[in-house]
Amino acid sequence: MKPDVIVAFGFSKKGAANRAIARAAIASVAFYGVPVFTQDDVLHEMELRVVRVQSANEERGYLSTLGICKQFKYFADRNWNHAKIRVIAAPMHQWWCERDLKRLGFEIFEPPTKTRVTEPQIGGWYNPSDPQIWVRNRWIWWSRELILRALPWFIYQRIV
């Protein structure tokens, strides 16, 4: 059993986190032989080693997790009747990615072994100079995260 597509979610604008996500996406493509849907921040780190990629367009300087999921839904509705998705994301971001895709009606493919993206050796997940304040450090990420997780879906989808 394999996924229909891999959706790789970036974490920050540039740097070590997206390189780690790109490496995991490339490995999954090699293993499953399915296309990747991602955003430009991850695509840039893939160095065009993957040919079948659909890139998400950015809005307002960054693209929210839900924004990527909605763009993927638009793409998937035209290509598959039902898509089983392998999510590739930073571990602290994985929950959001899967939750938003499930809310939009997708099935999440769980690999036989629980694999996570390996933490970058240099730089770690967070980027202190990132324009997205919430990915600058762990404290800011989790402060924002806890507030957003407490919001009902109908509010969350309007503000992100």
Residue 147 belongs to some domain of the structure? no
Residue 28 belongs to some domain of the structure? yes
Does 139 score more than 90 pLDDT?
A: yes
90 within 8 A of 21, measured Cβ to Cβ: yes
Residue 136 belongs to some domain of the structure? no
Q: What is the predicted pLDDT for the residue at 89?
A: 93
Residue 51 belongs to some domain of the structure? yes
Q: What is the residue range of 74's domain? A: 5-111
Q: What is the predicted pLDDT for the residue at 52?
A: 46
Does 40 score more than 80 pLDDT?
A: no
Residue 158 belongs to some domain of the structure? no
Where residue 103 sits, what CATH number does that domain have?
3.40.50.620
Whole-number average pLDDT of the chain: 83
Does 47 score more than 50 pLDDT?
A: yes
pLDDT in tens, 62-104: 678 888 898 888 888 887 767 799 999 999 999 999 999 999 9
Q: What is the distance between the alpha carbons of residues 52 and 69, in angstroms, rounded to a whole number?
A: 18
Residue 156 belongs to some domain of the structure? no
Residue 80 belongs to some domain of the structure? yes
Both structure tokens of 28 = 């999954």
Specify the number of domains making up the chain: 1
pLDDT in tens, 4-27: 899 999 888 777 888 889 888 888
Residue 134 belongs to some domain of the structure? no
